[in-house]
Amino acid sequence: MSSTSTTATYQPATKVGRITDFVDSRVGGSSMVKEFGRKIFPDHWTFMFGEVALYSFVILLLSGTFLTFFFDPSMAETHYDGSYVPLKGVEMSVAYASSLDISFDIRGGLFMRQVHHWSALLFVAAVSVHMLRVFFTGAFRRPRELNWVVGGVLLILAMAAGFTGYSLPDDLLSGNGLRIIDGVIKSVPVVGTYISFFLFGGEFPGTDIIGRLYVLHILLIPAIILLMIAIHLFMVVVHKHTQYPGPGRTNDNVVGFPVGPVYAAKAGGFFFIVFGIIAFISAAFTINPIWNYGPYDPSPVSAGTQPDWYIGWVDGALRLMPGWLGSFPFEWEIPFPWGTNTLSLNVLLPALVPAGIVFTLLFTWPWIERWITKDNREHHLLDRPRNAPGRTAVGVAGVVFYCVMWAAASSDLIATHFSVSLNDVTYWLRVLFFLGPVLGFIITRRIALALQRKDREIALHGRETGRIVRLPHGEYIEVHEPLDDYKLYKLVSYDAPMTVPAEADRNGHISKSEKRRAMISRFLFEDRVAPVTPAELEEAHSHGHQDQLATDADNAAVVEKH
Amino acid sequence: MKALSQRRRHPMAAIALLLLGLLVTGGLYAVASTANEAKAETTYSASDIAEGEKLFVANCATCHGMGASGTDDGPSLVGVGAASVDFQVGTGRMPLQMSGPQAMEKPNQFTEEQTAQLSAYVASLGAGPGIPDEEYLEHEGLEAEEIAEGGEIFRVNCAMCHNAAAAGGALTRGKFAPGLADVSEKHIYEAMATGPQNMPVFNDANITPEDKKKVIGFLKTIESQGSPGGADLGSLGPVSEGLFIWVAGLGAVIGFTVWLTSRSS
């Protein structure tokens, strides 16, 4: 009954059967179930962060819909008359008043607001961790480069959704955030002021911005996110899921469980687990207590004003930027025939350059890596991060770069909570901004190579048991225990990228970019731990496991490296 | 008017103008600063002052000098007023435990009586803000609107250092504005009136005693009401929220993912 041709002859016996057959013969559902229900997915906990992101998004849609029933995005002035005493009679916008009403005067409103905000934080966090997993395991390689790009777009959209939502209550905290955005926009040379006036409908803050952000937040951005998720998942189905190397897992198969019934049940259950975690957090921990901050008013700025975590790194970059470098100013007044224009590099550079670097590298990395390694093969088997020391080191350098800026966004809290000087925190983070990624790169690569060497030792000579045995002729040895085949497979089956020297083109000419590529390739892959070959394994085992002497092991390691 | 315009280029005109300006400024300042003078004309007995002087000589004069005239290590206390002494000594900030970016709070070194005697002595050296009247500290009878007004005053004048939820914040070079929970009404008032450490003075012309009372009422209301939405994570805003979702939220999620995938493989 999977295709329409057979339904003509199929006679359902029961009433339910007749209804089902009626629907199926018109919708073709059974063939879809047959196709997708037998789809195999591999099982590993690190594969589930994308799922967490998806579920958080569903929770966002549900809780957000509830909030739209009661939220009024108007910036008209009103006097608060709700039940929260410390704001009684205070002049504020209708948007802020309705957010307070949701929090204090609508049954379940505060809980739903907190569900919405906590799941927003979890959504972006899950997207980020998912992307880190994809990066460090090399899952972005052919044929999945475009899906990586779609993922990057989703990350940006998630941040945009978060920021537009964060601003909606029109409280003091988010208003300060909007003012920073306004400052960044105004720092764009020549057109900045015009863009700012266009966006805010006049001088900041105006009376338009909340309504405009609301339309973006509840209509445009979620619609694009949904579209991107559809494309993302479609490509996952087309490409099939990647898997970690293991016995029986090849580049041409997927080892795991079918969607139906195993994953359908697991994923459905997992949705409720994520929902449960968010609901528990929302019930027990407050988030964005807008009643503390008061209505937005351009004059007060509270201490400890920060954006939500995913915008924090940009805020941190702004905090790290000096206005002057010695006697060199970052703000210039440039005379033009029509008057003086100000170029505020002290705002423009930190707001755009670090984010520009991070996102450019993020989007182009699959092509950069392909260009360096000249590896254009399809990869359905993942790398363990240690087995790609160059990529892992680049990734950690990026993470350190991000985290330094992230930490800078909470420099004031670091200062008060660890009793250090705010100025010193800023100076140290400025140093780390440049030095941190370099150190991160070097240390990570050394650690990855060391782990590979350790794997190689264990593969060849087995695990050190700590059991010391004295031989008849008086010598002491430590007994090594060989690995079982499954564990051994994990340690020996991987590709170790090698330096690809510069190659001449058809005319025998080596172009400059090719030389540069060869240089990078040498830099990344010169130090390399080769995977254990079957011959080496055979040789190591022919020694007999019991007789592995420390000197043998040392010799082997020296020979292997050079 | 003609006479005035003719003489405006007189050699003495500039000096006359300067004198006039100084007189007006000085006169206005005198008027304004009397507004800041102590309301509470608590009369201290001569014995209080004498006892206070003994305590001062034994405990404070090392830095503040004999007669509180100041040394290289500590400022003169002539004219700081009783409120200043009551705050600094009453919160344990003085005597100073150690030199640092700012005086730290610590257990009180003197009894209430001794603190009052010290205050009496310092107040006798020169006029300054006195200990606030009880009527400006008794905030129980405030209307909701007045508490809300106190909140507005707090957000405009205080929140940039003390944080909108009065959780405290960082200043430059290791200095900080402390959190205001558990600070007594009297000490909040005195801090506003005298501007201890790096805090500016909010004198009576700036924030009237009635408004100070509203600020105190607001602070005590948000302190006693607790956090309506659950545990407040230190009222530190998005940083503690972000830290929480990454550590606790993602931690719990990862725990479940490991559990969900541990059975099958």
Residues of chain A contacting B141 with CB distance shorter than 8 Å: none
Task: Give strand pairing partners of A476.
Answer: A470
The distance of B146 to chain A (nearest Cα, Å) reads: 8
Confidence (pLDDT) at A60: 96
- B216 has pLDDT over 90: yes
Confidence (pLDDT) at A551: 47
Q: Span A52-72, mean pLDDT?
A: 96
Q: Span A42-62, mean pLDDT?
A: 93
Does A90 contact B152 at a Cβ distance shorter than 8 Å? yes
Provide the mean pLDDT of chain A: 89
Specify the amino acid at residue B246. Answer: W
Highest mean pLDDT among A311-315, A477-481, B136-140 belongs to A311-315
Confidence of residue A27 (pLDDT cuts 50, 70, 90): confident
Secondary structure E strands in A327-470: 328-329, 331-336, 339-344, 463-470
Q: Span A138-145, mean pLDDT?
A: 92
Confidence (pLDDT) at A544: 53
Instruction: Give the chain B residue whose CA is nearest to the CA of A289.
Output: B229
Q: Judge if the upstream peptide bond of residue A86 is cis by omega within 30 degrees of 0.
A: no
Taking the C-alpha atoms of B157, B161, B162 and B167 in order, what is their torsion angle to the nearest 10 degrees?
A: 150
- B6 has pLDDT over 80: no
> Cβ of A410 under 8 Å from any chain B Cβ?
yes
- A474 has pLDDT over 80: yes
Rounded CA-CA distance B55/B67 in Å is 12
Does B244 contact A285 at a Cβ distance shorter than 8 Å? yes
Rounded CA-CA distance B151/B131 in Å is 23
Q: How many helices and strands in chain B, by DSSP H and E?
A: 12, 2
Confidence (pLDDT) at A77: 93
Of B174, B177, B229, nearest to A421 by CB-CB distance is: B174
Of B145, B161, B173, nearest to A421 by CB-CB distance is: B173
Tell me which of A172, A287, A313, A419 to substitute to probe the interface with B (most B C-beta atoms closer than 10 Å).
Answer: A287
Confidence of residue A338 (pLDDT cuts 50, 70, 90): confident
Rounded CA-CA distance B7/B11 in Å is 9
Cβ atoms of residues A171 and A164 within 8 Å: no
Secondary structure E strands in A20-161: 40-41, 77-79, 91-93
Confidence (pLDDT) at B35: 53
- A39 has pLDDT over 90: no
User: Quick one: residue A351, left, alpha or beta (phi over 0 = left, psi -120 to 50 = alpha)?
Assistant: alpha
- In 3D space, the residue among A511, A528, A315, A520 whose CA is nearest the CA of residue A407 turns out to be A315
Q: Span A440-465, mean pLDDT?
A: 92
Highest mean pLDDT among A158-162, A249-253, B193-197 belongs to A158-162
Of A270, A273, A300, nearest to B160 by CB-CB distance is: A300
Confidence (pLDDT) at B1: 58
- Chain A (158-187) residues lying within 8 Å, Cβ to Cβ, of chain B: 172-173
Of B164, B174, B243, nearest to A302 by CB-CB distance is: B164
Pairing assessment for the beta strands A331-336 and A339-344 based on DSSP bridges = antiparallel
Does B165 contact A292 at a Cβ distance shorter than 8 Å? yes
The distance of B259 to chain A (nearest Cα, Å) reads: 8
Collapsing DSSP to helix, strand or coil, A77 comes out as strand
| Angle, alpha carbons A151-A157-A163 (nearest 5°) | 140
- A304 has pLDDT over 90: no
Residues of chain B contacting A412 with CB distance shorter than 8 Å: 169-170
Cβ atoms of residues A151 and A387 within 8 Å: no
Confidence (pLDDT) at A439: 97
Rounded CA-CA distance B66/A515 in Å is 79
> Cβ of A102 under 8 Å from any chain B Cβ?
no
Task: Give strand pairing partners of A257.
Answer: A41
Question: Within its chain, how far is the Cα of A460 from the centroid?
Answer: 36
Within a 10 A sphere around the Cβ of A454, how many other Cβ atoms?
A: 13
- B40 has pLDDT over 80: no
Q: Span A220-249, mean pLDDT?
A: 92
- Chain B (154-213) residues lying within 8 Å, Cβ to Cβ, of chain A: 155-156, 159-165, 167-174, 176-177
Q: Give the dihedral sign, CA B48/B53/B56/B57.
A: negative
Highest mean pLDDT among A98-112, A298-312, B40-54 belongs to A98-112
- B149 has pLDDT over 90: yes
Tokens at A2, concatenated: 């999977």
- A6 has pLDDT over 60: no
Confidence of residue B250 (pLDDT cuts 50, 70, 90): very high
Does B160 contact A302 at a Cβ distance shorter than 8 Å? yes
Q: Span B77-88, mean pLDDT?
A: 90
- B234 has pLDDT over 60: yes
Pairwise pLDDT comparison (A237 vs B1), residue with the higher score: A237
Confidence (pLDDT) at A264: 86
Pairwise pLDDT comparison (B262 vs B63), residue with the higher score: B63
Residues of chain B contacting A46 with CB distance shorter than 8 Å: 257
- Residue B235 DSSP code: G
Prediction pTM value: 0.87
Confidence (pLDDT) at A302: 85
Cβ atoms of residues B136 and B185 within 8 Å: no
Tell me which of B140, B239, B246, B262 to substitute to probe the interface with A (most A C-beta atoms closer than 10 Å).
Answer: B239
- A538 has pLDDT over 50: yes
Rounded CA-CA distance A83/A66 in Å is 21
Within a 10 A sphere around the Cβ of A320, how many other Cβ atoms?
A: 21
Confidence of residue B34 (pLDDT cuts 50, 70, 90): low
- Chain B (223-262) residues lying within 8 Å, Cβ to Cβ, of chain A: 225, 227-233, 235-239, 241-246, 248-250, 252-254, 256-258, 260-262
Taking the C-alpha atoms of A104, A106, A111 and A115 in order, what is their torsion angle to the nearest 10 degrees?
A: -120
Confidence of residue A559 (pLDDT cuts 50, 70, 90): very low
- A361 has pLDDT over 70: yes
- pLDDT tens digits for range B9-19: 777 888 888 88
Please state, in angstroms and as integers, the Cα–Cα distance from residue A303 to each residue in A117, B147, B158, B173, B237, following that order.
22, 21, 9, 16, 10
Please give the helix or strand (H or E) that residue B192 lies within, else none. helix B185-194
Does A88 contact B148 at a Cβ distance shorter than 8 Å? yes
Does B239 contact A421 at a Cβ distance shorter than 8 Å? no
Share of chain A above pLDDT 90, in %: 60
Rounded CA-CA distance B8/A514 in Å is 81
Q: Span B214-243, mean pLDDT?
A: 90
Confidence (pLDDT) at B33: 63
Does A415 contact B174 at a Cβ distance shorter than 8 Å? yes
Within a 10 A sphere around the Cβ of B133, how many other Cβ atoms?
A: 16
Confidence (pLDDT) at A225: 96
Within a 10 A sphere around the Cβ of A465, how many other Cβ atoms?
A: 11
| Angle, alpha carbons A489-A495-A501 (nearest 5°) | 160
Residues of chain A contacting B255 with CB distance shorter than 8 Å: none
The distance of B194 to chain A (nearest Cα, Å) reads: 22
Pairwise pLDDT comparison (B99 vs A141), residue with the higher score: A141
Highest mean pLDDT among A39-48, A216-225, A264-273, B61-70 belongs to A216-225
Confidence of residue B127 (pLDDT cuts 50, 70, 90): confident
Cβ atoms of residues B162 and B198 within 8 Å: no
- A10 has pLDDT over 80: no
Rounded CA-CA distance A154/A134 in Å is 14
